[in-house]
Chains A and B, each alone.
Chain A
Amino acid sequence: MLIVVSILLILSILSPLLYKIFKGITNWIITSVIITSLILFINYGKTIFSDDFLLESYEWFSSANINLEFYVDGLGFMFGIIVLGIGALIVLYSGYYLKGKEFTGRFYLYIVLFAASMFGLVISGNLIVMFVFWELTGISSFFLIGYYFYKEESRINAQQALLVTGFGGLALLAGFILIYLSAGTFSIKELLTKRELIVFTEIYPIILILILTGVFTKSAQVPFHFWLPNAMVAPAPISAYLHSATMVKAGIFLLMRLYPVMGDTNEWKYILSGFGIFTMLMGGFISVNQTDLKKILAYSTVSALGLMVTLMGISTQEAIQAAVVFLIAHALYKGSLFLIAGLVEHSADSRDINVLSGLYKTIPFLGIISFAAAASQSGVPLFFGFLGKELTYTSAIDTDFLKIFLPLMFLMANILMVCAALMAGVKPFIGEYEKEKVKISSFKYISPLILSFTGFAIFFIPGLLNNTIINPTVNAISGVETRIELSLWHGFNIPLLMSILTLAGGYYIYKYRNYFKLHIEDFLIFLTPSSVYHSMISGLKKIAFYQTRILQSGYLRNYLIVIFSFTLILMILPLLIGNKLAIFTGDLEIERYEIFLYSAIIISAIFVTVTKSRLSAIAALGVVGFGVAVIFIMHGAPDIAITQFAIEVLTVILFVIVLFKLPRFSNISKRKIKIRDTIFSVTAGVAVFFVLMLITNEKMRPLISDFYTENSWTLANGRNIVNVILVDFRAIDTFGEITVLAVAAFGIFALLKLTVINKKEEHK
């Protein structure tokens, strides 16, 4: 398995290079490599049939319980074949579709990268490995949607798709982590045996919601569906491959993969069928109201995805089988229809079905292919889509779940799907002949032809398909060994009746679709989460703007006030919580000269704050500094005092020198602000006072200073202990301190010198 993934990844990286060398025939080369890997993959089929599954495991990140595991059973096998098979056809088609366009090399890079990651996703045997590939598909989809990046629409929609699926991806990741915490493993093989550990936990509903958010965003369920129609700005082969045949089915795949682990509970049934039914109906309604060919197809894809989700919600063996059959059929016909739409657009320069008509006369061969695909979508007998539809009805009738309501919903959705098929697959080709004859290179037909007629052909060999693909898949999903026969003809029964009703109803709506339009449009206005998304984005921008504007206002004093208040709150809170604001007891022995000194300091400090003269402010500042120095002297710290004196003098001198070049104090603050600041700073001062009192109230623990006083002379040969500490015990502090001074000196030198440079430049 690893080898197949590696081939594809390497191919992806090499493809721009290949394009440089081989130009126009690159698509053939890439296609053949993909087909080779498909053959390699099918070779594994034998093991899968005999053992039910194939497990490959490589040591990767074992300490986090994440190994590079591949687990392929019937389900992975089916998806793998779809991904690679359709991928090969799409690349082939793209070569002709994109002829003459720029950046074709990069296009191949992304599309092969997508194929590799989608393939990796469906065969991965570890949730985290799966998640890695899951996100990679999203990334490659982003680049493919943004292929025409010079158009604004492309950019916006690419971003939208990535953000919506990225959001779901994160929910999914959270879900995976919770699964791990409940079950103790990321390995899918082990998880399959640990259903009880997940379904019966309290957090099961949370896990389910998280996983389903991931599924619904990827598989475009309401209310996350809107990115899919918008993604139609991508080139036609991308819409065919990513946005109908494979990537959007990753969500369905995950439902099927996790069904044995967390499916078939009440929550599962109701949530899935609820969202599924709503999505399939809404997708259907909107699709028949579109006129753009690709939009019709996109919304009917949404509808089909909803139908598959509903089927998975029903949770019976029959429903799962129906989902599998429908999934294969849909991949074939919808892929084909998108490719046809691309050719129609190229040859008729329009995607509007009101404009397009009579193309059958100009390009009859394409018409036939298109009719076949449309017939399969409509569920006309003799086409594979018919089987899917029959099974859907049967499973809906045979279950007790939701009784009569369910078949009715399916009927309605299918009717709309028939109508969409007629509009997109038939309408452009019939009617009046308008356009001149155009020539389409016959290579372009290959891919849609194969897709359409596979759908036709496999109708006749259901037995083979059933035994090799469908039954193993159903077994893998449900975990129960079954052999359900697929038969072409069930006799005259209710499902057949419903099928006939569907076709008739579809045609009826198609014919009178212009009348329906009026009624539905008002209703649809309420159902545009796309606009919700846009208002969310612009809301986000606004919130971001105002928040930043308020916080990062540009005014330093606002910043400082926030910082100080924050500090104060954090300092006081623990004291309040700890009920620490008790009254302190200290000795109140006060000498008279102390009072004099302290009040001198305080008065000069206050004077600094109120004076309007710069010089007197600085003089008062000096007084404060000297006062502090005197305090140091009085309390047995002559060394600091001397330093303090020296430094104070230097600072004042520096201030005075610089000051002459500065303007006078201007009194710019408003009175109100001054009062506010006064109150604020006094509060802060009081808080500091309290904390300090509390601290000095505590008993001091054994001091390390004792060590210094005892060893200063004996070990370090110094009598002045402060100096000994500075130069010996804590020499590295002093070392750092000198560095700071030196750096400051050089920095000041550099700053001053820069002025000179600037001035010189000005003179020049």
Chain B
Amino acid sequence: MPVIIPLLSAVVLIFFRKFRIFSKVFNLFGSLALLTAAGFIFLFVDNEGIQTLSIGGWKAPFGIIFVADTFSAIMIIIAGIMSSAASIFFFAMVDKEREKLGFYIFYQTMIMGVCGALLTGDIFNLYVWFEVILMSSFILLVLGSEKKQIEGAVKYVAINLISSVIFLSAIGLLYGLNGTLNMADLSVKISASKDTALMNTVSMMFLVSFGIKSAIFPLFFWLPASYHTPPVAVTAIFSALLTKTGVYAIIRVFTLVFRQDMTFSLTVILILAGFTMVTGVLGAAAQMDFRRILSFHIISQIGYLLMGLGILTEYSLTGSVFFMIHIIITKTILFFVSGIVYVAYGTYDLTKVGSIYKWFPFIGLLFLISAGSLAGIPPFTGFWAKFFLIKAGFMGEFFVISSVGLFVSILTLYSMLKIWNEVFWTDTGCEFEVVNNNLKSKSKGFKFSMYFPVIFLLIVMLAISFYPEPVYYYAEKAGKELMNYTNYINAVLRK
């Protein structure tokens, strides 16, 4: 269902792309329908355990099978929420030219790819969905054809195509070793084999390939080069869904498929996690542009997600899942806020924007809460997420990575303070009349679609912050399922 809905929306949008308003509304409608479907899947998974759906009626491992466990159900629901929120944001933020060229078509196919990737239980099918995402994101990225967009896109395309080549080769080798493509079946076969070395080689190829997509150290180069070039609405949804789908794939593959002897792979993952956190946050600290700081931060946060995987306990995976929920919501809010600032000031340059705190305390508040959450200030979601991960780290006696995690959060605080100081406090000589006019002159509908998604997501985030219990419950459930992967295998192979 979550795959079909965006597809249908995309098809409808193809025919009606000339009608701007219709496209906008229908796009939102499609996203909401997706959210509803995701809600149903979530309920099913919650009540009846892991759900499977064999496409075309062929049983696993022969046909392709879609699987929804708690983790993917959570991810799908978040994808639904984010795509709906972004769809509202698009009302204000996507311009006419882009709409005429079918912006929403590509948006919907991208969502479709994301949902497919989150649900599939077949490794080659995962590749296909990734290509769908990639192709759509390429186009979303270059639509508009501004000089810098194209420049960013060249790097994005080149590096991601390489990721595809590595992915494809890895699948070939994996098939050559095990003769099957279903992930659950692979897991069984791999556990039975004694050959760790070759399997590690193949698993590392997957790590690299997904690592490129999720922008881990030292494979993240495409992200800072391209993410800040398209319109902010696109950046926001990219950051919410694309890199996170990559991380999802890493977590899925390493908690399900390569569970044989994990000493080598976990060590590698932990080391990479540490470097990813540090280089990401330092990269952010070096920037002088609102959106580039945020983009670099994506990398740093990916490190935390990997840290939970590298520790690999029920608790740490719970931490990772919680962190995933937290970071998707928080990061999207921050990008949206940067978009609002851009509407007012017409630039993302820290040295040019100023005095927001003085003139628009409300925007300041929106930024403040989400930035605080990102930096891990209690009691916001970021605090809980980091708290779980650090605690998991201490419990497993991974003191180095835990200290790195703590230290990075002070650097995160530093770079958030940098934005706050430069953009919100400093008087950079902007004129109040001009800026205020930029905001005031917009229509009511424009303002609504600009502020509503931010406020909505902020309320969601605050609700999770002050009452983390339910979300934690599901994160814990997902963590347990990931750790005890035999349930997944049994559900898929009907044992």
Interface residues, chain A, with chain B CB atoms under 8 Å away? 60-64, 103, 106, 128, 131-132, 135-136, 139, 146, 149-150, 152, 155, 159, 162-163, 166-167, 170-171, 173-174, 177-178, 180-181, 540-541, 543-545, 547-549, 551-552, 554, 556, 559-560, 562-563, 566-567, 570-575, 577-580, 688, 691-692, 694-696, 698, 700-705, 707-708, 711, 728-733, 736-737, 739-740, 743-744, 746-747, 750-751, 753-755, 757-758
Contacts and interface: CB of A to CB of B under 8 A. Distances in A.
Contacts of A563: 159, 162, 208, 212, 218-219, 221
A751 to B, nearest CB: 6
Interface string B157-194: 01100100010010001001111111001000100010
Nearest to A59: B469
Contacts of B435: none
Contact of B417 (A162, A572, A698): A162
B357 interface: yes
A163 B205 CA distance: 40
A740 B197 contact: no
Contacts of A567: 166, 204-205, 208
B468 interface: yes
Contact of A551 (B58, B159, B166, B283): B283
Contacts of A573: 200, 204, 264
Q: Which 5 A-B pairs have the closest CB atoms?
A: A578-B197, A574-B200, A736-B128, A747-B139, A570-B204
Contacts of B361: 106
A63 B469 contact: yes
Nearest to A753: B101
Contacts of A545: 286
Contacts of B128: 732-733, 736-737, 740
Contact of B181 (A544, A570, A704, A739): A704
B82 interface: no
Contacts of A181: 391, 394-395
A60 B469 CA distance: 7
B64 A733 contact: yes
Contacts of A753: 101
B97 interface: yes
B472 interface: yes
12 contacts: A163-B410, A170-B407, A177-B387, A547-B286, A552-B225, A559-B155, A559-B222, A574-B200, A698-B176, A730-B124, A736-B132, A740-B131
A575 B139 contact: no
Given A155-B421, A729-B56, A562 B283 contact: no
B55 to A, nearest CB: 5
Contacts, number: 278
A728 B285 CA distance: 52
Contact of A570 (B207, B377, B425, B469): B207
A131 B378 contact: yes
A163 B413 CA distance: 8
A732 B128 CA distance: 9
Contacts of B390: 173-174, 177
Contacts of B169: 688
A700 B414 contact: no
A732 B125 contact: yes
Given A170-B407, A575-B201, 20 more contacts: A60-B467, A60-B469, A62-B469, A63-B473, A135-B378, A178-B394, A540-B285, A540-B414, A559-B155, A563-B162, A566-B218, A574-B200, A575-B197, A577-B200, A698-B195, A703-B179, A705-B179, A733-B128, A736-B129, A743-B105
A704 B196 CA distance: 22
B377 to A, nearest CB: 6
Given A736-B128, A747-B106, A704 B179 contact: yes
Given A729-B56, A740-B135, A698 B185 contact: no
Contacts of A758: 145
A290 B132 CA distance: 68
Contact of B180 (A692, A694, A696, A704): A704
Contacts of A732: 55-56, 64, 120, 125, 128
B64 A730 contact: yes
Given A159-B421, A575-B198, A577-B197, A702 B179 contact: yes
A746 B105 contact: yes
B378 A132 contact: yes
Contacts of B135: 740, 743-744, 747
Given A61-B468, A551-B221, A698-B198, A571 B205 contact: yes
Contacts of A152: 426
B476 interface: yes
Interface in B417-469: 417, 421, 425-427, 467-469
A571 B97 contact: no
Interface in B381-406: 383, 387-388, 390-391, 394-395, 402-403, 406
Nearest to A171: B406
A136 B166 CA distance: 47
B172 to A, nearest CB: 9
A63 B394 contact: no
Nearest to B61: A704
A401 B271 CA distance: 46
Contacts of A60: 467, 469
A702 B221 CA distance: 40
Contacts of B279: 547, 551
Nearest to A170: B406
Contacts of A180: 391
A544 B468 CA distance: 34
A166 B413 contact: yes
Contacts of B142: 747, 751
A703 B282 CA distance: 48
A135 B207 contact: no
Contact of B472 (A63, A149, A560, A739): A63
Contacts of B193: 701
A248 B310 CA distance: 39
A545 B411 CA distance: 14
A572 B201 CA distance: 7
Given A173-B406, A566-B219, A578 B196 contact: yes
B56 A728 contact: yes
B285 to A, nearest CB: 4
A739 B109 contact: yes
Contacts of B417: 159, 162-163
A376 B290 CA distance: 51
A571 B201 contact: yes
Contacts of B155: 556, 559
B357 A570 contact: no
Contacts of A703: 179-180
A139 B201 contact: no
Contact of A541 (B285, B372, B425): B285
A580 B197 contact: yes
A698 B196 CA distance: 13
Given A746-B105, A751-B145, A562 B221 contact: yes
A146 B425 contact: yes
Nearest to B178: A701
Interface in B207-238: 207-208, 212, 218-219, 221-222, 224-225
Nearest to A736: B128
Contact of A731 (B55, B159, B406, B472): B55
Contact of B102 (A149, A698, A733, A750): A750
A132 B467 CA distance: 14
A131 B387 CA distance: 11
Nearest to A739: B132
A145 B107 CA distance: 45
A148 B143 CA distance: 44
A731 B62 CA distance: 12
A547 B278 CA distance: 10
A423 B208 CA distance: 66
A573 B201 CA distance: 8
Contacts of B378: 131-132, 135-136
Contacts of B39: none
Nearest to A576: B197
Contacts of B207: 570
